[in-house]
Amino acid sequence: MTLLLAQLILSGLVLGAIYALIALGYVIIYKATSVVNFAQGEAVMVGAYIGLSVYSFMHLPVPLVFAITMTVAALLGVIIERVAYRRLVGAPVISLIIATLAVGLILRNVVRLIFGPNVYPFPPLIANRPLRFAGLVTTPQNLLILGVSVTCMVLLFLYFRLTKWGKAMRAVSQNGTAAVLMGISVRKVFSMIWALSAALGALAGVLLAPLLVVNPDMGWIALKAFVVAILGGFQSLPGAVLGGFALGILENLAGFYIGSAVKDIVAYVVLIAILIARPTGLFAERTGKRV
Amino acid sequence: MMRRHWLLYATIVLVCLPGIAKAETGVTDGAIKIGSLYAVTGANAQYGLARTSTKMAFDEINRKGGINGRKIELVIEDGACDRAKSVAAVKKLLHSDQVFALFGGVCSTAVKAATQSTIEAKVPWFVLSPAAQNIMDPFTPYVFGARPSSFDQTDVLVRASKQSNYKRIALMSSSDDYGVQARKGVEKAAPRLGLQLVAAEVHNFGDTDFTPQLLKIQAANPDAILITSYLKEIAIILRQSYELGLKAPRLATASVTTTIEKIVPKEALDNLIAVTPLKDVEDGPTFASFRQALKDAAPDLAAQPGMPDYLVIMGYYNVSIFAEGLKRAGRDLTREKFITALESINNFDTGALGGKVSFSKTDHDGLRSLGYYRYTLDKASGTLGRKFIGTIDLR
Amino acid sequence: MTRRAAGIAGGLVLMATLPWLINVYPLYVLTLVLVSVISAVGLYFVTGLTGQVSLCHATFSGIAAYVVAVLGRDLGVPFWIGWPLGAVAAGAIGYLVGIPALRLQGHYLALATLGLGEIVLLLNVHWERLTNGPNGLEVPAPRLGTVVLSSERGKYLLVLTAVVVMVAFAANLQRSKLGLVLTAVMDSEVAAQAFGVRLARYKVFAFALSAFYAGVAGGLYGVVVGFITPYEFGLWPSLWTLTMVVVGGMGYLWGAVLGAIVITALPEVLRGLKDYQELLYGVLILVTLVFKPSGLYGLVTGRRSTASKGSS
In DSSP notation, B65-102 reads: T-BTTBEEEEEEEE-TT-HHHHHHHHHIIIIIS--SEE
Residue B13 has a pLDDT of 67
> At A109, is the pLDDT very low, low, confident or very high (cuts 50, 70, 90)?
very high
pLDDT value of residue A280: 62
Terminal C-alpha separation, chain B: 67
Q: Does C106 touch chain A (CB under 8 A)?
A: yes
| Nearest chain B CA: its distance from C18 CA (Å) | 10
What rounded mean pLDDT belongs to chain B?
90
Distance CA B156, CA B251 (A): 10
> What is the interface size between A and B, counted as CB pairs within 8 Å?
99
Among A251, B228, B175, which Cα is nearest to C125's? B175
Residues of C with Cβ-Cβ distance to B177 under 8 angstroms: 133-136, 229
Q: Would you say B299 and B52 are in contact if contact means Cβ atoms under 8 Å apart?
A: no
Q: What is the residue type of C210?
A: S
The ipTM (two decimal places) reads 0.86
Give the other-Cβ count within 10 Å of B200's Cβ. 19
Q: Does A112 lie at the interface with B, CB-CB under 8 angstroms?
A: yes
Contacts with A51 (C-beta within 8 Å, 6 or more apart), sequence order: A65, A69, A122, A202, A205, A206, A209
CB contact under 8 A, B12 and C302: no
A96: confidence class by pLDDT, cuts 50, 70, 90: confident
What pLDDT is attached to residue C182?
74
Whether residue B66 has pLDDT greater than 90: yes
B373 falls in which pLDDT band (50, 70, 90)? very high
Contact list, C21 vs chain B (CB under 8 Å): 16
Contact B231 A213 (CB under 8 A): yes
Q: Which residue in B4, B95, B183 has the most chain C C-beta atoms within 10 A of its own C-beta, making it the best mutation to test that interface?
A: B95
**pLDDT values of chain C reduced to their tens digit, one per residue, 312 residues:** 678 888 888 888 888 888 888 888 999 999 999 999 999 999 999 887 787 889 999 999 999 999 999 998 888 889 999 999 999 999 999 999 999 888 887 777 888 898 899 899 988 988 888 888 888 888 888 887 788 888 888 899 999 999 999 999 999 988 887 777 777 776 666 676 666 667 788 889 999 999 999 999 999 999 998 889 998 999 989 999 999 999 998 888 999 999 999 999 998 988 888 888 889 999 999 998 888 877 888 877 776 554 443 333
In C, which residues are within 8 Å of A230 by CB distance? 108, 111
The answer to whether residues B170 and B248 touch, using CB atoms and an 8 Å cutoff, is: yes
Question: Which of A271, A274, A289, A291 is most worth mutating to test chain C (most C CB atoms within 10 A of its CB)?
Answer: A271
Q: What is the pLDDT of residue B44?
A: 86
Question: Which residues from B are below 8 Å from C30, CB to CB?
Answer: 12, 15-16
Residues C283, A106: C-beta atoms closer than 8 Å:
yes
Are C111 and A106 inside 8 Å of each other by CB?
A: no
Tell me whether strands B71-78 and C147-148 are parallel, antiparallel or unpaired: unpaired
Instruction: Tell me, yes or no, if A132 comes closer than 8 A to chain B by beta carbon.
Output: yes
Q: What is the pLDDT of residue A3?
A: 83
Residue A205, Cβ neighbours under 10 Å: how many? Answer: 32
Q: Which of B243, B246, B238 is nearest to B218 (CA)?
A: B246
State which residue of chain C sits closest to B40, comparing Cα positions: C275
The pLDDT value given to residue B23: 35
Radius of gyration of chain C (CA): 19
Distance CA B371, CA C168 (A): 61
How many other CB atoms are found less than 10 A from the CB of residue C24?
Answer: 22
CA distance B244 to chain A (A): 6
Q: Are strands B369-377 and B273-276 parallel, antiparallel or unpaired?
A: antiparallel
Q: Decide if B215 and A130 are in contact by the 8 Å CB cutoff.
A: no
Q: CA-CA distance, B194 to B167, in Å (whole number)?
A: 8
pLDDT at A289: 39
Q: Pick from C29, C133, C232: which is nearest to B88 by CB?
A: C29
Instruction: Give residue B257's pLDDT.
Output: 85
Closest Cα in chain B to C138: B113
Q: What is the pLDDT of residue B5?
A: 62
Residue B325 — pLDDT band, cuts 50, 70, 90?
very high
Nearest alpha-carbon partner for B173 in B156, B189, B150: B150
Residue A4: closest C-alpha in chain B: B215
Q: Least CA distance to B242: which residue of chain A? A: A130
Residues of A in contact with C108 (CB under 8 A): 230, 234, 275, 279-281
**Rounded Cα distance, B85 and C29, in Å:** 10
Where residue A122 falls (left for φ over 0; alpha for ψ -120 to 50; beta otherwise) is: beta
**Cβ neighbours of residue C180 under 8 Å, at least 6 residues apart?**
C310
Structure confidence at residue C262 (pLDDT): 93
Question: What's the pLDDT band for B292 if we cut at 50, 70, 90?
Answer: very high
Confidence of residue B4 (pLDDT cuts 50, 70, 90): low
% of chain A with per-residue pLDDT over 90: 22
Among C22, C27, C269, the residue to mutate for chain B (most B Cβ within 10 A)? C22
Task: Specify the higher pLDDT residue, A174 or A119.
Answer: A119
Question: Neighbours of B (≥3 Cβ pairs closer than 8 A)?
Answer: A, C
CB < 8 Å to C8, chain B: none
pLDDT at B1: 46
Q: How many other C-beta atoms can be found within 10 angstroms of the C-beta atom of residue A10? A: 18
Q: What percent of chain B has pLDDT over 90?
A: 70
B321 or A213, which is more confident?
Answer: B321
What is the average pLDDT across B207-217?
91
Give the number of C-alpha atoms closer than 13 A to the C-alpha of residue C53, restricted to the C-beta side.
22
Put simply, the answer to whether B15 touches C26 (Cβ < 8 Å) is yes
Q: Which tens digits make up the pLDDT trace of A173-225?
A: 777 677 777 777 878 888 889 999 999 999 999 998 988 889 998 888 888 88
In this prediction, residue A286 carries a pLDDT of 46
Structure confidence at residue B356 (pLDDT) = 94
Phi-psi region of A213 (alpha: psi -120 to 50; beta: other; left: phi over 0): beta
- Pick from B163, B191, B182: which is nearest to B230 by CA? B182
CA distances from A286 to A235, A236, A278, A289 (A): 10, 11, 12, 9
Q: Is the pLDDT of residue A41 over 60?
A: yes
- Distance, in Å, from the CA atom of B384 to the CA atom of B270, rounded to the nearest integer, reads 8
pLDDT tens digits for A249-287?
Answer: 988 999 898 887 778 788 788 878 877 777 665 555 544
Bond from prior residue into B249 cis (ω within 30 degrees of 0): no
pLDDT value at residue B3:
52
Residue B117 C-alpha, separation from nearest chain C C-alpha, in angstroms: 10
Mean pLDDT of chain A: 84
Q: Which residue of B has its CA nearest to A113?
A: B41
CB contact under 8 A, B231 and A119: yes
Q: Is-contact B4 C301, C-beta < 8 A?
A: yes
> Tell me: the pLDDT tens digits for B151-172?
999 999 999 999 999 999 999 9
So what's the pLDDT on residue B22?
Answer: 39
